[in-house]
Amino acid sequence: METLAEPETITAKSCSKRTCPTGMAGIRDALYVLNGKWKLPLLFALTDGPMRFKDIQRALGDITPKILSKELKELELNEFVVRNVYSTTPVTVTYGLTPYSESLDAVLFALKDWGISHRKRIVASRKADIT
């Protein structure tokens, strides 16, 4: 996995129109790195502090070790996550967020808040259907 798609040179410094190439490219770049079913939930789970492999697995519910391992590696590659190994017996490994990962906070929170309020809306409209 690479860290980013080919860098289509972007010239504009800022964009008034929201669909300007830069804006669209921004969306796509972000999605390119945060793709898949697990990366955002994973990052969110780690915001409380480093966790061990098995604990992450439990926190995310039904992710298999294979997938989890792969996702963690990709997050490491993109410098969102650090892997720490402790020489206990048996060995202990934790995964924690990097300082750079904090740059994603706005995205994470916006997404979380929206998800929560969206669910409320859906639930409310379902009740209305019944009534």
Partner DNA sequence: CGGAATCCCAAAAGATACTG
Partner DNA sequence: CAGTATCTTTTGGGATTCCG
d(CA 17, CA 97): 34
Residues 57 and 63: beta-carbon distance below 8 Å: yes
Partner that binds at residue 82, options a copy of itself, DNA, none, CB closer than 5 to 8 Å by kind: none
Partner that binds at residue 67, options a copy of itself, DNA, none, CB closer than 5 to 8 Å by kind: DNA
By CB under 7 A, residue 4 contacts DNA: no
Considering CB under 8 A, how many residues would be counted as binding a copy of itself?
45
By CB under 7 A, residue 18 contacts DNA: no
* Nearest to DNA of 20, 70 (CB atom): 70
d(CA 51, CA 125): 38
- Return the residue matching tokens 């921004």: 26
By CB under 8 A, residue 77 contacts a copy of itself: no
By CB under 8 A, residue 113 contacts a copy of itself: yes
Q: Which two tokens stand for residue 101?
A: 């990962």
* Nearest to DNA of 84, 117 (CB atom): 84
By CB under 8 A, residue 65 contacts a copy of itself: no
d(CA 90, CA 10): 50
By CB under 7 A, residue 55 contacts DNA: yes
Alpha-helical runs (H) found in the chain? 21-33, 39-46, 53-60, 65-77, 105-130
Among positions 11, 18, 88, 131, the unique one binding a copy of itself when judged by CB under 8 A: 18
